[in-house]
Structure 1
Amino acid sequence: MFGISPLGWLHTLGSLPAIPAMLYMFARYGRIVPRSVAGTIYLVAMLIGAASVFLVTHQPAGFVIGAVTLLLLLVGYTAGGIGALGRAARYVETVSLSLTAFLLMLPTVTEVLRRVPDGHPFVTSLDAPLLRGAQAGLLGVLVVGLAVQIVVLRRSRPA
């Protein structure tokens, strides 16, 4: 179904819980909060997805996205514990984890549009205008979202 291998299904289903966890945290907190139940779910699902992408991808971009995602998860989930960063830790944490959300949604949207509906996908080429528009929309959400998050962090009092 959808041309996905058993290992591909493990990758897809393993990383899928990150999406509702991410959406919940953005709606509730305006950012990904690592030290929360949803943050833990997000981390585990993202680790499964980012680590397993190396086994399923056939594109060099997939390897880059997986490696960068793992690096950003490490930075985002450890920044809060580095006292030397001071108030900057919240900025590093927020920006890093928001970038992981973008790197989750970029291939997700791409793969959904290239595989759904089964047998007659919405797009058949990586250059399709619909796909390019969806990717540009995600980039726009990232830029605006990061700007809003940074403004909110600047206006908030130190923890």
Structure 2
Amino acid sequence: MFGISPLGWAHTLGSLPAIPIALYMFARHGRITPHSKLGAVYFVSMFIGAATVFLVTRDPVGYGLGAATLLLLFVGYGANRLPASAKAKAYVETISLSLTAFLLFLPTVTEVLRRVPDGHPFVTDPHAPLLLGAQGGLLIALLVGLTLQVARLRRLGGAGAA
């Protein structure tokens, strides 16, 4: 189904919970909240997805996205251990974890458009306007979201948001 191997399904289903969790936390808190129950589930789900991408991708871009996601995930969740001010830690945590969500949504949207509906996907060309528009929309959402998050951190004095 959809040309996905059993390992691909493990990758997909392992990372799937991170999508609604990220959307919920963005809507509820304006950011990924790592030190919460949902934050723990987000971490595990993102880790599964990012770690297993190395087993399922055949594309160098996939390796880069997986490595970047893992790096940002560990930086975001370990920000409170950085030798920096609480304000700086809040910025690092918020920006890093927002970037992990973007790095999850980007290949998710791309793969859905390139595989659904099964046998007759919406997009067959990687340069199709629908795909480029969806990817561009995600980039705009990231830029607007990061701008709002940084403004909120400034308003709260940085550490107040973490």
Q: 1:50 is aligned with what amino acid?
A: A
Residue 81 (structure 1) aligns with: 81
How do 1:20-99 residues align onto structure 2 when only pairs under 5 Å count?
20-99=20-99
Pairwise CA distance, 1:125:
1.2
Residue 127 (structure 1) aligns with: 127
SS of equivalent residue, structure 1 residue 113:
helix
Structure 2: 5+ residue stretches without partners: none
Pairwise CA distance, 1:60:
0.5
SS of equivalent residue, structure 1 residue 84:
coil
Relative to the length of structure 1, the TM-score reads 0.97
Q: 1:137 is aligned with what amino acid?
A: G
Preserved contact between residue 11 and residue 52 of structure 1 (Cα < 8 Å): yes
Deviating above 3 A after TM superposition, structure 1's stretches of 4 or more consecutive aligned residues are none
Residue 100 (structure 1) aligns with: 100
- My pick for the range that moved more, 33-42 or 83-92, is 83-92
Return the alpha-carbon distance in structure 1 between the equivalents of residues 18 and 86 of structure 2.
Answer: 28
Return the alpha-carbon distance in structure 2 between the equivalents of residues 33 and 81 of structure 1.
Answer: 16
SS of equivalent residue, structure 1 residue 87:
helix
Pairwise CA distance, 1:55:
0.2
Return the alpha-carbon distance in structure 1 between the equivalents of residues 125 and 11 of structure 2.
Answer: 22
Residue 148 (structure 1) aligns with: 148
Return the alpha-carbon distance in structure 2 between the equivalents of residues 100 and 78 of structure 1.
Answer: 14
Return the alpha-carbon distance in structure 2 between the equivalents of residues 40 and 81 of structure 1.
Answer: 17
- The share of aligned pairs that are identical, in percent, is 68
Return the alpha-carbon distance in structure 2 between the equivalents of residues 77 and 2 of structure 1.
Answer: 33
Pairwise CA distance, 1:83:
5.0
Structure 1: 5+ residue stretches without partners: none
Q: 1:18 is aligned with what amino acid?
A: A
Note the aligned Cα RMSD (angstroms): 0.9
Query: What's the CA shift string for 1:48-76, capped at 9, x where partnerless?
Result: 00000000001110000000000000100
Pairwise CA distance, 1:80:
1.9
Relative to the length of structure 2, the TM-score reads 0.96
Return the alpha-carbon distance in structure 1 between the equivalents of residues 10 and 4 of structure 2.
Answer: 10
Return the alpha-carbon distance in structure 1 between the equivalents of residues 61 and 126 of structure 2.
Answer: 12
Return the alpha-carbon distance in structure 2 between the equivalents of residues 19 and 38 of structure 1.
Answer: 12
Return the alpha-carbon distance in structure 2 between the equivalents of residues 94 and 84 of structure 1.
Answer: 15
Pairwise CA distance, 1:85:
3.3
Preserved contact between residue 79 and residue 85 of structure 1 (Cα < 8 Å): no
- My pick for the range that moved more, 115-124 or 75-84, is 75-84
